[in-house]
Amino acid sequence: MDLKLLEEIGLTQGEVKVYLALLRIGATKTGPLSATAGVSSSKVYKMLDRLERKGLVGHIIKGEIKYFTAMEPKRLLDFLDEREKQLQNKKAEIEKMLPELEKTKSLTNGKTEAVLYEGFRAVTNFFRNIVDELEAGETYYVIGGGYGKNIPKLQRFFYGHHMRRGRKKIIVKMLANFDTKNTLVKTTSKHSEIRFLPQYLITNMEIVFYKNKVFIAFWTLEPKGLLLESEEAVKSFSTYFDALWKIAKT
């Protein structure tokens, strides 16, 4: 049983221990529960209180003593439904804030020339921005398209990315790495032109550019990306791209 999943849906590690202990031993006082769960008695009350508010624990009073019990495991689904409603509400609130946030960002345009991003989510967010910022029929360019080494979730990400891009009919003109010739995710073929770089040019670095943006992604175990907002940089990489396009193979 993957207990990490319970943490991923919003329980703390301590709450997971307490909840599972209650499932095993049934209605109990805090003393035996603390010992079974391996949680200090000073913390168990706080965890029980949070679990009750999440609808996963209940209590009864016998002779002025409080006994706690785990609710049915199916209540985890109710907890998830409630979390989903809360997230939807937060999403709606964020959507209302976006115009003001965008206005705030526009005040700094032209001041930031380079930004470094670290971590899988931060780096892949750039590709989400591509789909948000480009319209149907517009093109972005890729030099060194690939999936890095030992990053299996990168292929899954690009499968979804190209699906979203394809639905919006955004075009990608890609110089992919030679070693991806038979492994490119199938959604890459939507609204695309693809050629393959020679094997001696393969690296874990991918260069993406469009409009006034150049993004250099390093697909390592802990990905990093450098964003340049510069029309001159885009022109330089466009020239580089055109030269490589001539020697690349279909």
pLDDT number for residue 181: 87
- Asked, for residue 98, whether it belongs to a domain, the answer is no
Residue 106 forms part of a structural domain: no
In a domain, 82, yes or no: no
Residue 152 predicted with pLDDT over 90: no
Contact 21, 29 (CB under 8 A): no
Q: Kind and range of the H or E element at 207?
A: strand 205-210
Which single residue is written with the structure tokens 């360019």?
141
- Residue where one domain finishes, among candidates 54, 75, 96: 75
Determine the average pLDDT of the residues in 188-210: 91
Q: Are residues 32 and 142 located together in one domain of the fold?
A: no
Q: What is the pLDDT of residue 179?
A: 87
| 233 and 150 belong to one structural domain | yes
State the Cα–Cα distance between residues 147 and 149, nearest whole angstrom: 7
Flag whether pLDDT at 2 surpasses 80.
no
Q: What is the mean pLDDT of the segment spanning 205-232?
A: 92
Half-sphere exposure of residue 91, counting CA atoms within 13 Å on the CB side? Answer: 6
Provide the domain count of the chain.
2
Residue 139, in any domain of the structure: yes
User: What is the distance between the alpha carbons of residues 13 and 69, in angstroms, rounded to a whole number?
Assistant: 18
pTM of the full structure: 0.60
In a domain, 101, yes or no: no
Q: Which range of residues forms the domain containing residue 63?
A: 4-75
99 belongs to a structural domain? no
Q: What is the pairing mode between strands 205-210 and 192-196?
A: unpaired
The average confidence (pLDDT) of the chain is 89
Q: Are residues 157 and 228 in the same domain?
A: yes
Clarify whether residues 51 and 161 are in a common domain. no
CATH number, position 183: 3.30.870.10
Distances (CA, A) of 93 to 86, 87, 90, 97: 11, 10, 5, 6
> How far apart (Å, rounded) are the C-alpha atoms in residues 32 and 26?
11
CATH classification at residue 39: 1.10.10.10
**What is the per-residue pLDDT for 202?**
80
User: Do 132 and 229 belong to one domain?
Assistant: yes
Q: What is the pLDDT of residue 195?
A: 95
Spatial CA neighbour of 163 closest among 135, 129, 191: 191
Q: In the chain, which ranges are continuous DSSP H helix? A: 4-8, 13-25, 30-37, 41-53, 75-106, 120-133, 152-168, 231-247
- Whether 92 maps to a domain, the answer reads no
Instruction: Read off the pLDDT band of 108 (50, 70, 90).
Output: low
List own/partner pairs for 110-116 with CB under 8 A and 24 or more apart. 112/229, 113/228, 113/229, 113/230, 114/226, 114/227, 114/228, 114/229, 115/226, 115/227, 116/224, 116/225, 116/226, 116/227
CA 229 to chain centre: 23
124, pLDDT greater than 80: yes
pLDDT at 109: 54
pLDDT at 214 over 60: yes
